């Protein structure tokens, strides 16, 4: 795309820095010398997409390989979209400003269901037909990855293939194959191309599987329709993160992005086993990085980015075996350079608070905890493993250390939830507030309660459970609103309709693709932003396509029901999940396998991997004991 | 020690706003290993101070930035090491030591120079006539939006210190800027009633001393 066209566009939009592509550490590889070309798209605005660690990892892992290149694109802001459409300019990549359709491969990360309409909008802005069946070999191959592929079925008709699991090895392998196929002159033969891709471990080609349905609308079977195609596709797992690629020259955005800091990934996976949590299931097993590796990476990251903050990221950073040593070492090494250390997720315990206190030398804004449920009974149902005593000890520690604002996250509509569980949320918030007034006299403590609505997800113990109807969720929100008010108490809640659509898509099947298309045609896009979300688009879409959203969101599944994602294998066995579901019903806790007792989730033996912990000898991986 | 940095901001770097520039320089300095002094207090931040803000989308050949260092560094070396950490479109033109008590850039700079390149052909005779007429007017009211969002009218004539065709048909302007109020070049173009597309570049920032214009790198007190 000529420079003057770009400059003209930039002069007319808000936040033009979203589209420059010349950020520090951006990689501009030679187009001709690198025949396998992919554009990675995070289907949301730049500020959200550039906060995604997965993008930084894959961008670096691909671009350090010869013969292949990866550029970036994001959803354009509404003003840019209008200009592109008005002037018939196709959406372009950031680095070379080339139209997306010039690339061999367009990759989307599926981070949340509400980005699906944006994916269609981006394909449309690129001039690429949204349905795979309508794309000839002249169009780029469309691939998806990320947590959304835990159940990619609702978007399967838009994609040529998906990558399940860790991508830092698999994606360069895939692009190597793309380069080979191009060299062999086979790239124009889409069916052969997909046949070859399907031989790569972890790659799922949805068109090679036929779905049949029962008369009640549930899935009867998903079976391969070609010889040589596996009945189940297993996710890719990096056995050892110390050996894995990690980017130490990530792009430093011009604009302030959501997570505008160094992201140091201390481990992958989480074994707490919260029964609602999909990430905790699909990223198993836990693999920690070595302390020395992390310190080396941190040093390079500070030197190559100039960032003012290092965030220790993972699903539950306080669980990392060497977290305290790591945090203290980083504060000691970089504090004087004006580089701070932060912990994005705190466990609900005093240890986490002391850790946060140790790294946060200056400004103490607010501390966030996620008890998730308001009563002990319900916390046991979801296997949160946190007692009221844990919570109050943690908040007491926080008030004494000088924090005055506590934020609490809860989920509404969890299985078996009743009014006393909701009252429990309000009661806990008040107890913490009174505790703060007592422990921080003369100050004005605040307690903010944020509630989201429970969305049952694939690969969790609650994948059989119905979501509360929207009306019930709203009643529960109202009840809490009435109980959580007064000086020092604040209450936030998520849009129940958004959670409803999420629940429809999270466990949906391929038929829902029609509804996603219809919603997009009615204007749905950027739906992760509540100001752009329109429930009316979806109501119209379901009406138009004759699909019943309640069938997907509000229906309890039979235990023997075939799920739309049963032909995919993320390691966690359905038997284990069913057992967990039953234990949930009886309020039985299941211990973290970190502690040494294997819970039999099936991941380690199934995928041929092991826990990797970096603590002392007491932290031996448990799977070999079983 | 204090350093005053003069730099140009051209090409697509024109699309970086003030906050983006602040972060970009802070990070470039950290990458360059420059020992930037930190402010004391509740929320320490690097001691950087910029000259008058440049409107988003405008290029400039003369931007200024003061930085306070916790340890002494050779200005020439700083220029080389810092330049290596900057994206294309940002070029350091000079680095000079200034006295610790030298007044801040924003306190002394009160004049900005701009050059207007026409992107389409324009009749120099007509332009000269419009310029003459504008300068002859006692008042040039323009509409602005106040901080409260309400429209207000501002007379920009006293702030137009110079407006000439130089070299014709390019326009060279000297406009008042700083705490006493800043006149924007596009306001002058609007007052000239010229619709032709133009590229506007800031070419200088100065402090008025009587009839003289002093460049910020030459001010010491």
pLDDT exceeds cutoff 90 at A407: yes
Give the tens place of pLDDT for each residue, A412-466: 999 999 999 999 999 999 999 999 999 988 889 999 999 999 999 999 999 999 9
pLDDT at B180 over 90: no
Of A7, A11, A22, the CB nearest to B87: A22
Mean pLDDT of A223-237: 96
Domain ranges for chain B:
2-103, 109-218
Residues of A in contact with B199 (CB under 8 A): none
**DSSP 3-state of B164:** strand
CB contact under 8 A, A362 and B44: yes
Percent of chain A with pLDDT over 90: 88
pLDDT over 60 at A618, yes or no? no
Query: Which of B13, B28, B31 is the mutation pick for testing A, counting most A CBs within 10 A?
Result: B31
Angle between the A388-400 and A350-359 helix axes, to the nearest 10 degrees? 20
pLDDT for residue B93: 98
pLDDT at A617: 46
CB contact at 8 A, A440 and A475: no
Q: Find the radius of gyration of the CA atoms of chain A.
A: 24
Contact A92, A100 (CB under 8 A): yes
Whole-angstrom distance, CA of residue A49 vs CA of residue B219: 45
pLDDT digits (tens, 9 = 90+) for A334-389: 988 889 999 887 888 888 888 888 887 666 778 999 999 999 999 999 999 899 99
Cα–Cα nearest to A356, from A391, A312, A295: A312
Could B57 and A16 be called an inter-chain contact, meaning their C-beta atoms sit closer than 8 Å?
A: yes
Residues of A with CB under 8 A from a CB of B: 6-7, 10-11, 16-17, 20, 22-24, 252, 254-256, 302-308, 337-339, 362-363
Quick check: B140 pLDDT over 80?
A: yes
pLDDT, residue A362, reads 60
pLDDT band at residue A626 using 50, 70 and 90 as cut-offs = very low
Of A7, A24, A304, the CB nearest to B12: A7
**Phi and psi of B130, rounded to 5°?**
-65, -45
Across the interface, whether the CB atoms of A22 and B15 are under 8 A apart is answered no
Q: Output B169 or A465, whichever has higher pLDDT.
A: A465
User: Does B27 lie at the interface with A, CB-CB under 8 angstroms?
Assistant: yes
**What is the predicted pLDDT for the residue at A52?**
96
The pLDDT of residue B54 is above 80: yes
At A581-593, the pLDDT tens digits run: 999 999 999 999 8
Q: What are phi and psi of B26, to 5 degrees?
A: -60, -45
Q: What are phi and psi of A317, to 5 degrees?
A: -60, -30
55-74 in chain B: CB under 8 A from chain A: 56-57
Nearest to A20 among B12, B44, B56 (CB): B12
Q: Cβ contact (<8 Å) for B29 and A7?
A: no
Query: How far does chain B reach from its first CA to its final CA, in angstroms?
Result: 16
Which residues from A are below 8 Å from B87, CB to CB?
22-24
Contacts of residue B26 in chain A, CB cutoff 8 Å? 306, 308
Q: What is the pLDDT of residues A233-289, one digit of tens each?
A: 999 999 999 999 999 999 999 999 999 999 999 999 998 999 999 999 999 999 999
Q: Give the pTM.
A: 0.94
In chain B, residues with a C-beta closer than 8 Å to the C-beta of A337 are: 30
Give the residue-averaged pLDDT of B166-190: 91
Determine the angle formed by the axes of helices A323-334 and A291-305, rounding to 10 degrees.
30
pLDDT digits (tens, 9 = 90+) for B67-117: 999 999 999 999 999 999 999 999 999 999 999 999 999 999 999 999 999
Interface test with B, best of A1, A9, A92, A254 (most B CBs within 10 A): A254
The dihedral over CA atoms of B76, B79, B80, B82, expressed in degrees to the nearest 10, equals 150
3-state SS track over A497-554: HHHHHHHHHHCCCHHHHHHHHHHHHCCCCCCCCCCCCCHHHHHHHHHHHCCCHHHHHC
B44 and A7 within 8 Å at the Cβ level: the answer is no
User: What is the rounded CA–CA span in Å between residue A179 and residue A202?
Assistant: 19
Percent of chain B clearing pLDDT 70 (strictly above): 99
Task: Report CB contact under 8 Å: A338, B29.
Answer: no
Q: Does domain B109-218 have CATH number 3.30.70?
A: yes
The confidence band for A70, taking pLDDT boundaries of 50, 70 and 90, is very high
CA distance from start to end of chain A: 59
Q: Mean pLDDT across chain A, nearest whole number?
A: 94
Using CB atoms, pick whichever of B15, B46, B56 lies closest to residue A338.
B46
In order of their start, the domains of chain A are 3-234 (3.40.50.2300)
Domain B2-103 and domain B109-218, same fold? Reply is: yes
The reply to whether residue A22 touches residue B89, judged by beta carbons under 8 angstroms, is yes
Over its C-alpha atoms, chain B yields an Rg (Å, rounded) of 19
pLDDT at B221: 55
Please tell me the distance from the alpha carbon of residue A265 to that of residue A268, in angstroms, as a whole number.
7
Mean pLDDT calculated for residue range A13-20: 95
pLDDT of B11-53, one tens digit each?
A: 999 999 999 999 999 999 999 999 999 888 767 788 999 999 8
A615 CB burial (10 A radius; 0-12, 13-18, 19+): middle
Tell me how close the Cα of A41 comes to any Cα of chain B, in angstroms.
22
Contact A235, A201 (CB under 8 A): no
Report, at the CATH architecture level, how domain B2-103 is classified: 2-Layer Sandwich (3.30)
Sign of CA dihedral A178, A181, A185, A188: negative
User: Any idea how long chain A is?
Assistant: 626
pLDDT value of position A620: 43
Of A11, A254, A302, the CB nearest to B20: A254
How high is the pLDDT of residue B172? 96
Contact A301, B26 (CB under 8 A): no
Instruction: Assess whether pLDDT exceeds 80 at residue A221.
Output: yes
């Amino acid at each position: 795309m000529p420079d003057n066209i770009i400059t003209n566009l930039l002069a007319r939009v808000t936040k033009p820095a979203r589209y420059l592509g010349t950020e520090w550490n951006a990689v501009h590889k030679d187009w001709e010398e690198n025949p396998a070309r992919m554009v990675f798209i995070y289907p949301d605005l730049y500020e959200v997409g550039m906060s995604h660690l997965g993008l930084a990892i894959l961008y670096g892992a691909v671009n350090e390989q010869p013969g292949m290149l990866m550029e970036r694109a994001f959803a354009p802001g509404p003003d840019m979209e209008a200009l592109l459409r008005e002037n018939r300019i196709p959406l372009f990549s950031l680095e070379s400003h080339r139209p997306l359709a010039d690339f061999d491969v367009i990759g989307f990360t599926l981070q949340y269901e509400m980005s699906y309409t944006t994916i269609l909008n981006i394909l449309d802005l690129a001039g690429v037909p949204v349905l795979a069946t309508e794309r000839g070999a002249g169009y780029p191959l469309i691939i998806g990855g990320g947590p959304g592929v835990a159940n990619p079925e609702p978007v399967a008709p838009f994609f040529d293939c998906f990558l399940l699991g860790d991508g830092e090895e698999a994606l360069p392998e895939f692009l190597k194959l793309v380069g080979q196929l191009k060299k062999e002159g086979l790239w124009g033969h889409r069916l052969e191309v997909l046949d070859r891709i399907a031989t790569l471990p972890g790659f799922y080609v949805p068109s090679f599987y036929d779905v049949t349905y029962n008369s009640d609308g549930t899935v009867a079977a998903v079976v391969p329709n070609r010889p040589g195609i596996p009945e189940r596709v297993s996710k890719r797992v990096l056995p050892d993160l110390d050996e894995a690629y990690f980017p130490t020259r990530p792009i430093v955005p011009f604009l302030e992005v959501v997570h505008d800091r160094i992201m140091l990934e201390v481990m992958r996976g989480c074994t707490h086993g919260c029964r609602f949590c999909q990430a905790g299931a699909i990223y198993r097993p836990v693999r920690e990085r070595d302390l020395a590796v992390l310190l080396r990476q941190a040093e390079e990251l500070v030197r190559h980015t100039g960032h003012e903050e290092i965030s220790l990221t993972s699903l539950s950073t306080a669980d990392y075996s060497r977290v305290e040593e790591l945090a203290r070492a980083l504060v000691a090494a970089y504090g004087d350079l004006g580089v701070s250390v932060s912990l994005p997720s705190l466990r609900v315990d005093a240890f986490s608070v002391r850790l946060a206190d140790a790294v946060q030398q200056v400004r103490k804004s607010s501390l966030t905890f996620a008890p998730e449920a308001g009563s002990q009974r319900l916390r046991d149902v979801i296997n949160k493993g946190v007692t009221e005593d844990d919570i109050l000890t943690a908040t007491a520690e926080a008030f004494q250390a000088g924090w005055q604002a506590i934020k609490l996250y809860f989920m509404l509509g969890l299985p078996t939830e009743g009014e006393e569980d909701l009252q429990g949320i309000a009661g806990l918030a008040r107890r913490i507030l009174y505790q703060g007034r007592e422990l921080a006299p003369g100050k004005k403590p605040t307690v903010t309660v944020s509630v989201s609505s429970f969305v049952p997800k694939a690969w969790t113990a609650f994948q059989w459970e119905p979501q509360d109807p929207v009306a019930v969720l709203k009643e529960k929100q109202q009840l809490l609103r009435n109980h959580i008010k007064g000086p020092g108490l604040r209450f936030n809640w998520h849009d129940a309709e958004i959670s409803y659509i999420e629940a429809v898509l999270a466990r949906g099947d391929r038929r829902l693709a029609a509804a996603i298309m219809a919603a997009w045609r009615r204007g749905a896009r950027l739906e992760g932003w509540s100001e752009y979300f329109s429930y009316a688009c979806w109501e119209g879409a379901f009406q138009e396509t004759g699909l019943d959203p309640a069938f997907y969101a509000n229906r309890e599944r039979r235990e023997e029901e075939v799920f739309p994602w049963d032909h995919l294998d993320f390691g966690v066995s359905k038997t284990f999940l069913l057992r967990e579901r039953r234990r949930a019903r009886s309020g039985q806790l299941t211990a973290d396998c970190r502690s040494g007792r294997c819970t039999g989730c099936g991941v380690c033996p199934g995928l041929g991997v092991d826990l990797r912990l970096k603590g002392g000898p007491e932290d031996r991986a448990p799977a070999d004991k079983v | 020690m204090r350093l005053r940095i003069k730099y140009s901001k051209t090409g697509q770097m024109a699309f970086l706003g003030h906050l983006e520039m602040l972060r970009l320089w802070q990070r470039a300095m950290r990458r360059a290993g420059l020992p930037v002094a930190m402010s004391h207090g509740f929320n320490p931040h690097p001691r950087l101070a910029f000259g008058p803000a440049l409107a988003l989308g405008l290029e400039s050949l003369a931007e200024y930035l003061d930085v306070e260092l916790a340890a002494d560094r050779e200005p020439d070396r700083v220029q080389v090491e810092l330049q290596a950490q900057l994206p294309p479109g940002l070029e350091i033109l000079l680095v000079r030591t200034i006295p610790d008590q030298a007044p801040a850039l924003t306190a002394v700079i009160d004049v900005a120079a701009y050059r207007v390149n026409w992107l389409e052909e324009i009749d120099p005779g007509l332009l000269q006539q419009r310029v003459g007429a504008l300068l002859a007017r006692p008042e040039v009211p323009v509409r602005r939006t106040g901080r409260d969002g309400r429209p207000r009218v501002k007379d920009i004539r006293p702030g137009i210190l110079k407006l000439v065709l130089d070299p014709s048909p390019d326009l060279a302007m000297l406009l008042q800027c700083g705490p006493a109020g800043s006149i924007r070049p596009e306001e002058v173009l609007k007052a000239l009633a010229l619709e032709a597309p133009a590229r506007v570049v800031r070419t200088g920032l100065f402090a008025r001393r009587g009839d003289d214009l002093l460049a910020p790198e030459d001010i010491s007190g």
